[in-house]
Structure 1
Amino acid sequence: MEPALIGTRLASAAIGPLLKKLLVDEGPGAGLVPKGAQVRLSGLVSFRGEKRALTEKDVRGLAATLVERSRQGTGEPPFPADETEAVTDALAGNLLALGDLDMDDVQAVRLGHRDLARRLRAAAPAPDGLSTDSVLYLETLTEWACLHILEFFTRRSTFIARSLVEQTRAQAELLAKVDEVIRRTPRAETGDAEFERRYLAHLAKKHGRLTIHGVDLHHSPDEWPLDMAYLSLEATGAEDPHEASGRPREQASVRADLALARHERVLLRGLAGSGKTTLIQWLTVSAATAEDRDRPEGMAYLRGRIPFVLPLRALTRHGERLPSPDRFLPAAGCPLTPPDGWTDRVLAAGRGLVLVDGIDEIPETERGRARDWLRDLLGAYEGNRWLVTSRPTAVRDDWLAPDGFTELNLAPMTRTEVTTFVRRWHRAAGPDAAGYEQPLLDSLRTAEHVARLATNPLMCGLICALHRDRRGFLPRGRKALYEAALSVLLSRRDRERDMGAPTGLTLDEAPQIQLIQRLAYWLTLNGRTQLDRDRAASIVAEAVPAVPDASAYPPEKVFTHLLHRSGLLREPTADTVEFVHRTFQDHLAAKALVDHWDIGVLVRHAADDQWEDVIRMAVGHARPRECAEILGELLKAADAAEDRLVRLRLTLLAATALDHATELSPEIREEVLRRTGEVVPPRGPEEARQLAEVGPLVLGLLGGPEELTDEEALTSVITATHVTTDAALPYLARFVRHPKLAIRSQLIWSWSRFDTHSYAKEIVTHLDPKGLIFTIRTNDQAEALIGLGLAPSWLNIGFDVSSTRTAQLLSLCDPVRLSLESWEDPYELPVMPPSSRLRHLEVHMFDPDASVDLAPFASLSHLEKVEVHGSVTGAEHLPTHVEVTHL
């Protein structure tokens, strides 16, 4: 018999009197005081308390009667006859759980009979060994019992009285909220509403497109629809990072565009090009959107907010005083004229979204005055939302902390965010750009020098634009790519944004590079990435007289300009200076070394891993004869090294430098490759990873599974899985049936380094699954596994996999062992049927204070062990035989 038909056997006339025995008679009143009518469920059941009307044995008898009556007259038994006693015991346990729920009758009715039944099943001991038919029968019968119990509650006069009280309270709360909405709503007679409609439409149009500065786009427009190209990044607080399952994470983290939902006042710091101004555009457009259904996900908190976009560089361009509220719109260049007093009314009502962009873009002497202006506004208008942006070094720590501002920093983009950015950028660029998207994603996976630059929206946009503008070809090698990036950061970006000269001087790109490369040379020569501010200033001061374009200015002023406007330098502390990214330091140091032709310095440091990129880039800067000399000296140094690892490193350094040479004789190239072939197969994982730095060329030097020992096969596979191009797939495919588990584990673990679907088709689908943990890190991998129809018994599902994809995976695979990762707090476990085969569950919470509720897994009959890295609730609902451990 179908379980859904059980209800036809349990008419109210039959089930009602039976279940009524479970419940006590009603008392008077609304149940508002302890001595009046008791409305907690523990007080409504007749088998709890000192004056019990029923014992647990009686409750079991009621359950047996319900089970028997539901079976009467059925042609087909709803469950196996030999499970009748187990089903009866389970139903009795569900009914007895009524006395353990911490809720009252009104809350129970609001919950509904199905959710109440789920609560009872979670609170009761899990039935052991029931068939699927018995489990479905038990679920349906419990729901029917709950339906009649709730019917009983609604007939009690105390329920009616208490419901009226609850409704009165809810109405009072609703009226208060309506009054607040009315208070904040502009009065129609003043014309505010009509003006706001026009003003918001103007903002949506003005800020609805994203401009990429500093890139020659001969074949593409330089503006993109904001809602297509925008990518929200993470903003982190000042707490120190910690390790969680091998992944570093900032403790205080929030999606940047949701920071104002959590904090009323935010000072947001970010490097040049990190997306501060774009974030302000996004907040403005989100607030200006009229309907919630059209507003981006998560941005409903901006409903009713009126944005005021205040770019400080424009407000003080000619030395004007910062504007009062009635001058906000004209000072920011808005052509609309508001009704008299409109801005004051908006801010006084707490409806404003005040976005102050670019503290760093006004002269340092004016920043104290800007803070005083801001403090006056804060004191006059409460309840608004305030966002102030700045580069990290422009103002000291806690600059606005006394005024209640939370300081956050825009985090670098992750690989997933970079991929998302590239896809959105090309979608925004239109159909003509579609063919360039996948080749660029391939380059980001395979060309490390490109991927290492793609850490913020400016650099990602630069790479996308250069790739598109050059019809699918990025500038050849690091040298050209870095020079394009330097051009953006040093001159074109500020010029094209009409920045003027906020530091009081103007320097072109070439003199800035000449001066900054002196700092890079000093840092690299001294084996450092950071130097004292005074030392940096003195290095620049010594170089200024030799640079004609800079010599006309005071050296200290030149240094201040380089520090705050170049986009290449930053101050991690008040008295230190460093490059924003080590790659720029290496690039400029290599240029300085080649300019001075300090080849002896290069060779002396060739075995130092901090110099590897410098040497590669020096080959890129050098002329052909100079390239041959550098590579020849590296091979000589390798011959002279007594340590095998040093010889390997020098040989591979010469091999990886080949791609940087603009021109090189075939003899030198062949000699380098021949020497590389002498160090394969690699000995150990470290050598394997170093060998992979040679790139796809090394694949032809690696042996196959039939000619390698197990250890040699493992190190060879490690090398190939670090050569992240499709060229590695045919080689890796030869190992998919290898009997050594470590080799197959290396193959599945490396999936995320390659194109998801190509790797799935050529590697994953052919893997021998015996003993193998299938690690799924992304939704794309989950979809690929589902599409392949594979059903591994051991799954490791990463935190980036959505709940929908997780549910689909679990329904397909029904794993025996499952490992889950999550950033959420609290984390809701996926729904799994009681018939699941799951025996061993691991949950890794990356926030150590986050918790996971284990109660939903109480009905899993095969569960034996649970391990949780984080906090646990609901463990008491699990069967006693389940071993639970947590850290």
Structure 2
Amino acid sequence: MVAAVREAKARAGKGKAARAKGRSGAEPAAAVESPGALLDGIFTAVGESPQAGGALPEIVRKNRRERAKRRLLDALAARGDYPVPETLRGELRTLVERWAQKGFEDAFAEADAFEIRCVEERAVLDAAARGDEEARFAAAERVYRREVEARYGQIEIRGLQLSARVRQDLEIAYVPLHVEVLSEPRSASTSTKMAGGKPKAGARTAKHKDLATMLRALAQLRAQERPRVLATDALKAHPRLLLVGEPGSGKSTLVAYLATRAARGELPVPAARTHPALIPFVVPVRSLQDAAATPEAIAHAAGTERWFVEAALRHGRALLLVDGLDEARTDVGGKVLPAVMETADAHPGNHVVVTTRPVGTPGKDEITPGGFTRARLVPMTRDEVGVFIDRWCLAAELSLNKPHRQAEVDARAAADDLKERVRASRAIEKLAQTTLLCSVICVVHRFLGQRIPERRVALYEAITNVLLYEWDRAKFPEGTAIGKLDAHAKRALLARLALSMHEARVAELPAEEVVKRLAAHLPDLGFPEEDASAIVAEIRDRNGVLVERTAGAFAFSHLTFQEYLAAMELVNLHAHDQLLRKYKDRWWHEVIVLAAGFPGAHAEKIIRGLLTKDGESVDAGTMLAAQCTETAVEVRKPLRREIENRVARLVPPESPKEFETLVGLGELAGPVLLRALDTASTEGKASIIMVLSEIRYEPATRQVLRFLKDPSRTKRPFADSGEMIAQSYTLAECAVVFAHWLLDESETAFSAYLDAMPSADPSVIRILRVIANSEKIPRLRIKYEALISRYEAAHAKTSSSASPSPRRAARSG
């Protein structure tokens, strides 16, 4: 459009001179190619696809072609007599080529869009010719907003393995993401929890014999935690936002969502803004040729014109969405953010969002640039995972061109099945907290006939297959190093890397170290070690099994994949003794459990070795052995019974030492504790519930909430952390301790809590009233009050139905 605008602006000044030359007999200017001639040339060059026409009569094919040409001629006529710039000519050629592949079917939607584009572009050109800058900007804004929405208003549904890539509207497929706003850099010494996660196990540090006092202390701890807020709300409150997210957490999709909402005028903005409609400019950092963030560079990256960006910045209406700071080329990496800050400082009143992967070493402070607020994308909650699954399944069904109502029915059935399977598996729940891995789980479920492998090893194999497939379909240029490797070679290469990293006790390596380790293994696979550098460079910007987590440092996209691949390599090496030597090291627990689940791993040998390590005691070896029976393909019944008998000696815990042992085992002890919960004594159940509370074992939610109605009271001291509790409690009161931390973790869990309240024991209400009165966080106080109200409403109804009115009583007398 730039050339056309220049031409339009020049016309008014050159008209008289041109006419004077014509009158003086000067040689006339070369004739501008007419729209008809332009279209004739394009249609002739494109020709016709024989397959598209099929068995249609010749006259029908001819009429279709002529109608298509007239449609585009009308569109070009809507531009007036302005020259057709080369960019628009290219769009015309592309449109005609696609249309020809469909046999020039009538009512082709792209022709409508092209005609609208021409009309709107004419408004810009007319305003430029008149010298009316305000009208020119308004007309250009309308055109640009439509282009942004067309470019970013859809999301690719990956992994469907259809012949063409599938895209669906963001409104159908997108799940709004939440962030944790960090007012200051955080360090490991001051953090009480991982970003977006739960407080660490063992947060109940003070011992209180009074449950209400204990819960008040927990509430004070929770009040110190940073709240989760919608990313859009964070932008509304903080006009300059540095958004940090792990690979696969949805940063680029969030940028597309913000751009689309802004283009539609739907993005929340501070009430103080004089003009609420922000204009989004998406700047992928990898597209920057240098470190400059000038209006010219922004215009080039965003696909618009410099004057338009300058005007938006000048009026304080720009929303700069700088995506992938960590993806900057090495020579400009440290200069991009200062350049963005300089542009923002020179044009106050505009909004800026910069996305990046974590740039510092995990656990160390990250620097927040001046004027920016740092926020961290947090993992999805269980409820958000459920919404993600609902929307993914609907998008997948709609991609098959089903009627919308039928797609909704089929999607609901698939989503409900998958959500139930996710909730039933702690391993899947943990993976599904990021958008990338949640979508992969959806793919696995869909292509395995709406099921998920129950054994973790089979599940991780299916997921890594999908991620490796994404590498395969990424269409690496011919001759690339990674393109030479088939799926088995890739998996073998990554397994060797995973084991070396796990042995080094690291989850992240510098790029040069990754190159070194891959180079050492490539010759074993029949490839030159020189390919290692190329492989690392080729996967740098692609989400998959291995990702560049921070600038210049690589990691597996989830620690689970490192553990799975390390276990696979150890099984291939028949390194059972190496596994058993690490049985007391928590870093290796999941690797040991997964190793027992591989075919040919000799699971019983691993299990017996673990039992032997414990001798006569019941410790980590026994708990690991119990976990191995869940992952192993086959374990004979006598060995299973031997493990059950051993576990019964520790569960339920009968002393503070045994209690602390179970807490120390963490989630490793969770499944064993749950299996014992129904058969234990009242005191044993109380201790088990307290352990589950201490380790924050969310899969126990449904089972423990059933005890809210249990009035059974402890009659003897029961084990807790550091002491035996002599005071008598109901199991319902113990269940309140477990449910306390769930209140702000999951709306699904809160709903289950609400549903249990009508039948709750009165001892529950006494504690909840105390907590509600002392709760400092408004949203949590509201939830406590809702729980109490649900109980009171149910019991008021019961009381009114049980007590007949005086008139009814007299009549019955």
Cα deviation, residue 796, structure 1: 7.3
Distance of 1:652 and 1:413 partners within structure 2: 30
Alignment of 1:848-863 (within 5 A): none
Matched, 1:685 2:632: no
Alignment of 1:830-845 (within 5 A): none
Question: Corresponding residue for 1:356?
Answer: 322
Picking from 376, 380, 384, the partner of 2:350 is 384
Matched, 1:609 2:590: no
Q: 1:763 to 1:327 in 2, by over 3 A?
A: closer
Distance of 2:782 and 2:751 partners within structure 1: 23
- Identical columns (%): 27
Distance of 1:730 and 1:593 partners within structure 2: 41
650-659 or 478-487, which deviates more: 478-487
Point out the structure with max Rg over C-alpha: 1
Matched, 1:304 2:277: yes
Cα deviation, residue 200, structure 1: 1.8
SS across alignment from 1:750:
helix
Question: Corresponding residue for 1:583?
Answer: 560
Picking from 432, 448, 452, the partner of 2:410 is 432
Distance of 1:702 and 1:295 partners within structure 2: 49
On the 8 A contact 1:412/1:455 being kept in 2, the answer is yes
Q: 1:363 to 1:543 in 2, by over 3 A?
A: farther
TM-score by length of 2: 0.60
516-525 or 271-280, which deviates more: 516-525
Cα deviation, 1:556-592, whole Å, max 9, x if unaligned, reads 5545666765656678898987655432322121112
Matched, 1:344 2:298: no
Cα deviation, residue 446, structure 1: 3.4
TM-score by length of 1: 0.56
Q: 1:227 to 1:289 in 2, by over 3 A?
A: farther
Alignment of 1:60-459 (within 5 A): 190-214=135-159, 216=161, 223-226=168-171, 229-237=174-182, 238-240=185-187, 241-243=190-192, 245-247=220-222, 255-290=230-265, 303-313=276-286, 315=287, 325=295, 332=302, 341-361=307-327, 363-365=329-331, 367=333, 374=340, 377-378=343-344, 381-393=347-359, 405-415=372-382, 417-422=384-389, 425=392, 430-459=408-437
On the 8 A contact 1:218/1:469 being kept in 2, the answer is no
On the 8 A contact 1:258/1:299 being kept in 2, the answer is no
Distance of 2:574 and 2:360 partners within structure 1: 37
Q: 1:518 to 1:749 in 2, by over 3 A?
A: same
Question: Corresponding residue for 1:543?
Answer: 521
Distance of 1:686 and 1:813 partners within structure 2: 35
Letter in 1 for 2:244: R
Distance of 1:457 and 1:222 partners within structure 2: 16
Unaligned runs of 5+ in 1: 1-185, 776-790, 816-887
SS across alignment from 1:356:
strand
Question: Corresponding residue for 2:686?
Answer: 714
Matched, 1:599 2:576: yes
Letter in 1 for 2:731: I
Distance of 2:248 and 2:550 partners within structure 1: 21
Distance of 1:249 and 1:792 partners within structure 2: 20
Matched, 1:632 2:592: no
Q: 1:758 to 1:469 in 2, by over 3 A?
A: farther
348-357 or 206-215, which deviates more: 206-215
On the 8 A contact 2:319/2:350 being kept in 1, the answer is yes
Cα deviation, 1:228-270, whole Å, max 9, x if unaligned, reads 6322211444233444844497769864334443444444332
On the 8 A contact 1:393/1:571 being kept in 2, the answer is no
SS across alignment from 2:280:
strand
On the 8 A contact 1:226/1:282 being kept in 2, the answer is no
Distance of 2:692 and 2:502 partners within structure 1: 32
Cα deviation, residue 288, structure 1: 1.9
Cα deviation, residue 660, structure 1: 1.6
Question: Corresponding residue for 2:596?
Answer: 619
Matched, 1:522 2:496: no
Picking from 650, 654, 658, the partner of 2:629 is 658
SS across alignment from 1:637:
helix
Q: 1:712 to 1:672 in 2, by over 3 A?
A: closer
Letter in 1 for 2:630: D
Cα deviation, residue 630, structure 1: 1.8
Cα deviation, residue 603, structure 1: 1.4
Question: Corresponding residue for 1:857?
Answer: none
On the 8 A contact 1:774/1:796 being kept in 2, the answer is no
Q: 1:406 to 1:464 in 2, by over 3 A?
A: same
Letter in 1 for 2:566: A
On the 8 A contact 1:512/1:562 being kept in 2, the answer is no
Cα deviation, residue 598, structure 1: 0.4
On the 8 A contact 2:708/2:761 being kept in 1, the answer is no
Letter in 2 for 1:632: R
Cα deviation, residue 190, structure 1: 3.5
On the 8 A contact 1:393/1:564 being kept in 2, the answer is no
Distance of 1:370 and 1:566 partners within structure 2: 23
Distance of 2:668 and 2:546 partners within structure 1: 29
Matched, 1:483 2:474: no
Letter in 1 for 2:246: L
Cα deviation, residue 614, structure 1: 0.6
Cα deviation, residue 329, structure 1: 6.3
Q: 1:410 to 1:507 in 2, by over 3 A?
A: farther
Cα deviation, 1:639-682, whole Å, max 9, x if unaligned, reads xx24x242xx3223222222222345555445544554555444
Q: 1:211 to 1:615 in 2, by over 3 A?
A: same
Cα deviation, residue 615, structure 1: 0.8
Distance of 2:497 and 2:366 partners within structure 1: 29
Letter in 2 for 1:204: E
Distance of 2:588 and 2:703 partners within structure 1: 28
Distance of 1:298 and 1:501 partners within structure 2: 50
Larger relative contact order (CA 8 Å, sep ≥ 6): 2
Question: Corresponding residue for 1:26?
Answer: none
Question: Corresponding residue for 1:64?
Answer: none
Question: Corresponding residue for 2:100?
Answer: none
User: Between Structure 1 and Structure 2, which shows a larger proportion of helix residues?
Assistant: 2
Cα deviation, residue 605, structure 1: 1.6
Letter in 2 for 1:598: A
Distance of 1:257 and 1:758 partners within structure 2: 26
Cα deviation, 1:427-481, whole Å, max 9, x if unaligned, reads 7663322234444444444311112212322222322343345454223433333
Cα deviation, 1:496-554, whole Å, max 9, x if unaligned, reads 4x78799997575555543443343234335555667766554344334334446342x
Unaligned runs of 5+ in 2: 1-130, 193-218, 397-407, 715-727, 794-813
Distance of 2:591 and 2:309 partners within structure 1: 55
Paired residues, number: 594
Q: 1:799 to 1:620 in 2, by over 3 A?
A: farther
On the 8 A contact 1:394/1:564 being kept in 2, the answer is no
Cα deviation, residue 634, structure 1: 2.4
Cα deviation, residue 595, structure 1: 1.5
SS across alignment from 2:591:
helix
Cα deviation, residue 617, structure 1: 0.9
Distance of 2:170 and 2:458 partners within structure 1: 29
Question: Corresponding residue for 2:404?
Answer: none
Q: 1:800 to 1:677 in 2, by over 3 A?
A: farther
